[in-house]
Amino acid sequence: MITLDRLINVLGGYGARWQAGTADRSTELRSVVLPEVVDGHPMPGDVLLAVGASTQAEALDWASSAGAVVVLTRVAERPARDPGDVAVVVIDSAMSWSELAAVVYGLVLEGRETESGRGPTDLFALADSLSGAVGGAVVIEDRSSRVLAFSRGQQDADPARAATILARQAPAELRARLQTRGVFDHLTASDEPLFVPADDDAGLTGRMVVAVRAGRELLGSVWVATARALTGQRRRALADGAHTVALHLLRSRASADLERQVESELVIRLLEAPADSATLASRLGLPPTALRVIALRAQDNGERHAALLQTFELATAGFGWSRPSRSALADTTVYTVLAADEAAVARAWVSALITALPRQLTVQAGISAPATATDLAAARREADECLALHEGTGVTDPPAYDESWNAVVLQRLKTAADAGRRPHRGAVAELRAHDAAHGTAYVATLRAWLQERGDPGRTAARLGIHENTVRYRVRRMADLTDLRLDDADKRFAMMIELAVRD
C-alpha cells in the first residue's frame, strides 16, 4: 500500500498536479476504480479515474459516489464547489488514460515487474509474443540502451545482437555507429518504426526499431532483427507492441519507485548507526562482511538534480537482491553501501556506474574505509570527506579514506584555514612576501628543505639546483626572518602552513 502523498509525488513526474481538496496526504490507498455502476450500485474505491468526465463537478460527483480519496481528471478548470476532503488531481493531456492507469494500478495494487529486478516480469514473454507477430528476434532496451528483455531463438543472432545480449547493453562502438546514422535522434523525435540497414563492420545484419514512449517521455526502444524493412501487418504489430511495452515499463517503474523509497529509507537509517544496525543490514540483504560507504554527486552542465536522480536510479537498478550494493538519496548526495573489503572493488563499482550513465554527466565520488554495519555512520563521514577531496582536487580516481587519510587531514586544515584567519606574519608569510616582491624562491626552498628533513643534497636534487645554493638560501632566509629551523615545533607549524596554503 502507498499513501496519497506518495501517489501525488510519483504522478507529478508524469505532469500531474494537485489542484484542490484538503485530503489527508498520509491516507493509505488500497483500490482503484473507474466510474462504473454494477447492479445499481457505484463501484467503491480510493482512487477514481474520471474517464469521460466533461466537468470537474461531474468528476467530483463520481468520486463522492465511489467514496474516493482522490480523483484524477483531465478537466483543468477549478471546481465550482469546494471538493472538501477529496483531492482533485489534474493529469497532463499528453498522457493517455491507459498509460496513467498502468502507473496507478502498479503503484496501488502491485509489487511486481520492477526495473530494480525484484519480482517476476513478463517482459520476456512479451518479447516472445512480439517476435512471433513481426517475424524476427526481438530485444527490448531502456533509454540508455540497456537490455531489459529478449525473445527466444537468439541462436542465429548476428555478432552485434550476441554482444548486446551478453553484455546486457549495446556495445559502445555499436551505439556510436547508430548515433552517427541518426537512429537515436529519430527515436527521440518520432514514434514511427525505422529501418536500420545492415552494417558488416558493426556485425549488424539489419534492424527495425521503434520508440517506446509514455506521453512525451522516451522510455526505451524495441529492436527487431530483419534483413528488410517491415511493412503492412508486421509493421503495425511492431508499433502496437511498442505501446504494450510502454505500459509494462510504466508499471515496472512505478513499482520500482516504491522499492527505491523503501531501500533509501532503510539505508539512511543504517547510516545513522541505530542500535539495530545488524538487523537493518540483514533486512537490506547486506552480507556480514566488510562494508564501504560510497558518496556520489553528479551534474549535467552544472544542473545537479536531474543528474543526481539518474545516478540514483541506475545505482538501484539491477537483478534483485543479487545486487552487491544498497543506495539512498539524501539531499544532494547518493550514498551507496557496498560489500567490499578492498578499495579497488569500490572503484570498479563506481567506474561501472559512470560508464552506464550518459557521457555528458560528471560524477565525483568518495569511498570510506572498510566498516561493520555498526560503524557506518563514521564511514559515511569518511565518504563525505573523500568526496569533498575528489571535488576539490580533481584527481582521476575516487579517493578511499584508508588510502588517502593524510590528504583528508590536510583538506580539513585547508577548510579551517579558508574559514578563519590565515597568518599574515611569521616566517612563511614574510618569505612569501619577499618572493613576490623580489622574484626569489625561498618558500619553495623551505618546503623542499622541510620535506627532505634538512638534508642539503636531497633538497638540491628535489629543486634541481646545486647543494651550495641550498645552503646559501637557508642562510639568507634566516637573515630575512626569524626562521628557527632548529626548533621542532616551529618546523612542524611551518609544514602545516605550507600544506594548507598551497
Q: For 64-68, 106-110, 224-228, 470-474, which range has the lowest pLDDT when averaged over its residues?
A: 106-110
CATH (domain of 289):
3.30.70.270
Rounded distance between C-alpha atoms, residue 317 and residue 314, angstroms:
5
Contact 205, 227 (CB under 8 A): yes
The DSSP bridge pattern shows strands 37-38 and 41-42 to be antiparallel
Are 393 and 298 found together in one domain?
yes
Are 399 and 439 found together in one domain?
no
CATH (domain of 496):
1.10.10.2840
pLDDT at 112 over 60: no
Are 335 and 215 found together in one domain?
no
Amino acid in position 356: A
Domain boundary among 390, 416, 442: 416
Domain boundary among 231, 252, 273: 252
Are 85 and 192 found together in one domain?
no
Are 58 and 91 found together in one domain?
yes
Confidence of residue 120 (pLDDT cuts 50, 70, 90): very low
Contact 88, 69 (CB under 8 A): no
pLDDT at 174 over 60: yes
Looking at the structure of the chain, the number of domains it has is: 4
pLDDT at 419: 57
Task: Compute the average pLDDT of residues 305-334.
Answer: 77
Distance of CA 414 to the CA centre of its chain: 30
pLDDT at 422 over 60: no
pLDDT at 416: 62
pLDDT at 321: 41
Are 148 and 52 found together in one domain?
no
Q: Is residue 367 part of a domain?
A: yes
Are 27 and 89 found together in one domain?
yes
Are 290 and 324 found together in one domain?
yes
Q: Is residue 484 part of a domain?
A: yes
pLDDT at 400: 92
Identify which of 306, 314, 283, 258 has the alpha carbon closest to the alpha carbon of residue 104: 258
CATH (domain of 92):
3.40.1390
- C-alpha atoms less than 13 angstroms from C-alpha of 502 in its C-beta half-sphere: 10
Are 387 and 486 found together in one domain?
no
- Domain that includes residue 325, residue range: 284-416
Report the mean per-residue pLDDT for the chain.
83
Contact 113, 119 (CB under 8 A): yes
Q: Is residue 207 part of a domain?
A: yes
Domain boundary among 84, 109, 134: 109
Are 303 and 377 found together in one domain?
yes
CATH (domain of 239):
3.30.450.40
Reported as a single tens digit per residue, the pLDDT across 255-270 is 666 677 778 888 999 9
Q: Is residue 188 part of a domain?
A: yes
Rounded distance between C-alpha atoms, residue 240 and residue 336, angstroms:
39
Are 31 and 85 found together in one domain?
yes
pLDDT at 425: 61
Reported as a single tens digit per residue, the pLDDT across 490-500 is 888 788 778 76
Confidence of residue 392 (pLDDT cuts 50, 70, 90): confident
Confidence of residue 337 (pLDDT cuts 50, 70, 90): very high
Are 128 and 247 found together in one domain?
yes
